[in-house]
Structure 1
């Protein structure tokens, strides 16, 4: 679900969603790693000869950050941060078959993508503004941060799942070797990169079904369809 107040500030906001159930990480081949290396190569080819921050792929997210009061230079979106590492020559590490797949598709289509273990959610999963006193633990950390009210986040009724919208994901709800049921959001904008969002969503869904044996469904959230039933 996306809170009404989000669309008041970002009326073209869309979220492509893949819901995958019964993921079997032991079934996969080397495909996820191949997708990651291919995505890195595509991103370098598209962005290496320009000021990548000014590239049409990234400008919509930088402008949206500014609209909601987040400095995109200090807190770049996940795709901008990952893309910068790739353009600097880094080969991203293999983390987990599903995460490698997501990162490769994210780079290939230059869209932010997330992965959230459905079995670790507490209540409705939402894109919304934070409430006073909510807390967050960054991926790889054990330090709890207290948020101010009014920060755009992914969250449920009890936990903040990402800070600053698509900047950094939480330790809570991360995908592990035990994760079987996962929700994957793909963030974008209807008037600017909807085709990329849908293509990334559909490639991910096909790979999860074909490589990991998951039962998948695909969805699109926008200002006229603000929630899905999972």
Structure 2
């Protein structure tokens, strides 16, 4: 199985840096509260100094969304949406230990993190422009069709596992209590993205190894090394 970005995506966003992890042995019983509190404290400290819209990580994604023809205050990258809610409520709802942990890490780094149940992905997964005939399953169980040229995470059966790039994941491959094997993807566009993604991947891998019987396989993706096989 392979995760990658299309050549066209790298050409359009040469500043993109991405990290990917694969891990098995996941369950819904892990106690991650201490780790979540630690990462939340980092986010709280940053938000005490400035709102999320002033963070360079978020500003870079806003510029990226504008380049995709999207209004960045209408469609926000996942990390901005999480930070915005966290700033207002000082907490995020609990969904699944792995999702809760990755959300906390996303808050701390202000970088969007996607987590996919790989058993729900057909073949390879690629970030690319949509053709318009792909299907997307919402969390409400409805079928949508991404617009042509919209950036999606697409598998070999033309199913979109995320819409508007880092804006919204699909309900199809969302992590559930039955999830055992996952692909985790983090992407950034800001000036220090390479270093920050490397630190984020290390943090996620360490957290996975501490809370689950997992030995994560990791990769850093760049225009020179654009694919992750696992």
TM-score range, shorter chain: over 0.9
Q: Distance in 2 between matches of 1:215 and 1:39?
A: 22
Is 2:6 aligned against 1:3? yes
1:92 alignment partner, SS class? coil
Is 2:147 aligned against 1:148? yes
Q: Which runs of 5+ in 2 are unaligned?
A: none
Match of 1:13 in 2: 16
Question: Is the contact between residue 125 and residue 154 of structure 2 (CA under 8 Å) also seen in structure 1?
Answer: yes
1:174-193 equivalence runs, <5 A: 174-189=174-189, 191-193=191-193
Deviations along 1:152-195, whole A, 9 cap, x unmatched?
11121221001100001100111111111100001113733222
1:208 alignment partner, SS class? helix
1:114 alignment partner, SS class? strand
1:17-32 equivalence runs, <5 A: 17-26=20-29, 28=30, 30=31, 32=32
Q: Distance in 1 between matches of 2:64 and 2:57?
A: 13
Match of 2:165 in 1: 165
Offset, 1:213: 0.5
Match of 1:36 in 2: 36
Q: Distance in 2 between matches of 1:155 and 1:133?
A: 11
Match of 1:221 in 2: 221
Deviations along 1:8-40, whole A, 9 cap, x unmatched?
1101112101110222443x2x3x223333333
Match of 1:205 in 2: 205
Between the two proteins, the alignment pairs up a number of residues equal to 226
RMSD across aligned C-alpha pairs, in angstroms? 1.6
Match of 2:129 in 1: 129
Q: Distance in 1 between matches of 2:86 and 2:28?
A: 26
2:114 alignment partner, SS class? coil
TM (normalized to structure 1)? 0.92
Instruction: Please identify, of 85-94 and 96-105, the stretch whose mean Cα deviation from structure 2 is larger.
Output: 85-94
TM (normalized to structure 2)? 0.92
